Structure 1
Amino acid sequence: MRTHGVEHPPRGLVHCAGTACARLGSSPANTYSDIVFVPGYAKDKAPYGRYAVKATMTPCSWAEDTVKDIAAMVVATPAKGKRLTDAVGAQNIAFSRPAGERVTAFGCPATTPQRGEELLYCPGNSQRAPEGEEHVPCDLGGSASGGPWLAGFNSPTGKGTVVSVNSHGEGDGGTPMYGPTLDKTAGRLQRRPARLSAEASAGRSSGPLDPGGGHDDFAAQRVRGGSFGRGAGRRGYVRRPSCVPR
Structure 2
Amino acid sequence: MARSVLVTGGNRGIGLAVARRLAAAGDAVAVTYRSGEPPTGLLGVRAEMTDTDSIHRAFDQVEAEQGRVDVVVANAGITRDTPFLRMSEPDFTEVLDTNLVGAFRTAKRAARGMLANRWGRIVFMSSMTYAYGAPGQANYGASKAGLLGLARSLAWELGPRNITVNLVAPGVIDTDMSRRISAERQAELMRSTPMRRAGTVEDVAEAVHYLAGDGARYVTGAVLPVSGGLGLGG
TM-score (norm 2): 0.28
Bigger proportion of residues as helix: 2
TM-score (norm 1): 0.27
